[in-house]
Chain A
Amino acid sequence: MQKHNQKEHLYKLLVIGDLGVGKTSIIKRYVHQNFSPHYRATIGVDFALKVLSWDAETVVRLQLWDIAGQERFGNMTRVYYREAMGAFIVFDVTRPATFEAVTKWKEDLDSKLVLPNGKPVPTVLLANKCDQGIDVLMNNGIKMDQFCKENGFVGWFETSAKENININEASRCLVKHIIASESDPVQSIEPDIIKPHLNSSKIVSCSACFKS
């Protein structure tokens, strides 16, 4: 079925943020194209898979790790973060406290996870529930672009899982940065051929070879 010289990437992406901000809803919208206001609280980690036709020669498979918002585990996020290539940090525009928690999540992420080249993983900030009108960002007069720059986000999007706003765009942005970080000059010693990744162990071997 697969075109002969098609390349396939497999990326593990994290979706983190405070409880009830809509992480599960965003993933369900992205992967299953539907929405319900009644997704139960995620316990531990939920797993989903999205396959993207990136371009004519490239298929991108995204492993989405939906991590419970109530961070009880302390060190457990370390286990879930392992070998991730990118992350979304989500907050709820109708609840300022969830935005205040964004920096906490970012610090947690960066302290536990770095790319093989020592850089932080590309992370996109999602301002979710933007359909609900009340805009925390405007109310607080926060300049989002500046906030992202200061806190090391590669970009940000106002999203709505309910109305399907900007979720595909945010994902493409993140994948673009992941691919760019992969072809970082430091790493391009490796020939630019990526073999199909059929399971996560391939990520290990792939990442590991950059270490040498």
Chain B
Amino acid sequence: GTLIKPGSKPPTTPVKLKKVSTFQEFESNTSDAWDLGDDDDELLAIAAENLNTEVVMETAHKVIQNHSKLQEQHKFQEEHLQEEKQVESAELSSVACGDNRLVKSVSEGHTSSSSEELRKLSWSGIPKRVRPIAWKLLSGYLPANVDRRESTLQRKRKEYFAFVEQYYDSRNDENHQDTYRQIHIDIPRMSPEVLRLQPKVTEIFERILFIWAIRHPASGYVQGINDLVTPFFIVFVCEYIEEEVVENFDVSSLPEEVLQNIEADSYWCMSKLLDGIQDNYTFAQPGIQKKVKMLEELVSRIDEQVHRHLDQHEVKYLQFAFRWMNNLLMREVPLRCTIRLWDTYQSEPEGFSHFHLYVCAAFLVRWRKEILEEKDFQELLIFLQNLPTVHWGNEEISVLLAEAYRLKFAFADAPNHYKK
């Protein structure tokens, strides 16, 4: 249903982020953004009006400065959303336009231009309450046309459970038992940070992964794919519960039908994600090998000192970045950060494949000081495999994404910068 009916049309984005083919074109398109220079007040004023990519594109420093202000805005909007529900207040303050436009975009989309709008608005982070629907739209699981959504959901959910019916009994057959056993060993030992040790959740994860593996024989089940179910599952569970803290929520308290919906939705969204990074998981994982090479090349251009330092101490990128690619950084940052990261990945064209590379580069260089201080192979590798991100939240991810975005524009259209 419609959550909000804004009284006025959202202001149009000042800079259209159409596909730019050169850095110059990008630069000229966004010249007004850069021209703001050091005038923080003006920038903040604009940020308050347009929560969009241009804000994020500003330097990491400015993102930090904006953060507290944005937090207030989010809070303000959340409050408004509550009021809306109860009082049916007529219109919303223009201050809250960014996220409210997102809510509108999610609930009233009809056209392809509205899904473009959704992408722009989602780039800088999606409010928790609209995230489930926004993710389903962004992943391409749900159609933009609001009238077709309910029927699509019903059809896809039915389709998924037909797969379960068709394949799941074969999990102990000779040709499938290896796959099932691997999944069965991996799921219970996933980190207990969320829900996963509950038998109900284990069952759901095993079914999702087994069905996906059987239907994608070119890759089958590859360790790491199991992690990719988690963000979808958690986000979709949140659609049905009021609790702020999901960790301790008893999943089996949800009605069976709701659990089935969550399961099917998680399956399809994960499938959509994996469609975009298939070669990461086919034999010999060529996608990952290629991306690790590209990361190395990219870092050598961005920060030669860090690159040389790693090289001098014989640290190979594959030794730490394989996992970054295979698990999309999920092992390197807390789950809440992954969820925030995926808001952006799903808003970016080729977010999980191409843009992820720039995020990884920004992530590595983020630790340059610590890296340069380590003077020994052992210490370097132990540091790189255990990066201190436990306390990370939205702020750190926003900074990381802003830097990645900058790198993408500086290097994306100049392939010679990272290809030999």
Chain A residues at the B interface, C-beta cutoff of 8 Å: 19-20, 37-49, 61, 63, 68-70, 72-76, 79, 198-201
Question: Within B78-132, which residues are at the interface with A (CB < 8 Å)?
Answer: none
A40 B191 Cβ-Cβ under 8 A: yes
Q: Find the A residue at minimum CB distance from B178.
A: A97
Q: Which 8 A-B pairs have the closest CB atoms?
A: A44-B322, A20-B185, A199-B377, A43-B323, A41-B223, A47-B381, A70-B223, A200-B377
A47 B382 Cβ-Cβ under 8 A: yes
- Which of B188, B197, B223, B313 contacts A43, CB < 8 Å? B223
A75 B284 Cβ-Cβ under 8 A: yes
15 contacts between A and B (CB under 8 A): A20-B186, A38-B189, A41-B185, A41-B226, A43-B223, A45-B319, A45-B322, A47-B381, A49-B382, A61-B378, A76-B284, A79-B316, A199-B313, A200-B313, A200-B314
A49 B283 Cβ-Cβ under 8 A: no
Chain B residues at the A interface, C-beta cutoff of 8 Å: 182, 185-186, 188-192, 197, 222-224, 226, 281, 283-285, 313-314, 316, 318-319, 322-323, 326-327, 331, 376-378, 381-382, 385
With known contacts A72-B283, A72-B284, A43–B378 Cβ distance under 8 A:
no
A44 B318 Cβ-Cβ under 8 A: yes
A43 B189 Cβ-Cβ under 8 A: no
B319 A47 Cβ-Cβ under 8 A: yes
- Which of A20, A44, A75, A200 contacts B326, CB < 8 Å? A44
B319 A19 Cβ-Cβ under 8 A: no
B223 A38 Cβ-Cβ under 8 A: no
Q: Which residues of A have CB within 8 Å of B331? A: 40, 43
Most chain B CB inside 10 Å of its own CB: which residue of A41, A46, A68:
A41
With known contacts A72-B222, A198-B376, A199-B314, A47–B323 Cβ distance under 8 A:
no
Q: Which residues of B have CB within 8 Å of A201? A: 313-314, 377
How distant is B291 from chain A, measured CB to nearest CB, in Å?
A: 13
Bound: A40/B222 CA distance, A: 14
Bound: A19/B223 CA distance, A: 10
How distant is A19 from chain B, measured CB to nearest CB, in Å?
A: 6
With known contacts A79-B318, A200-B314, A19–B284 Cβ distance under 8 A:
no
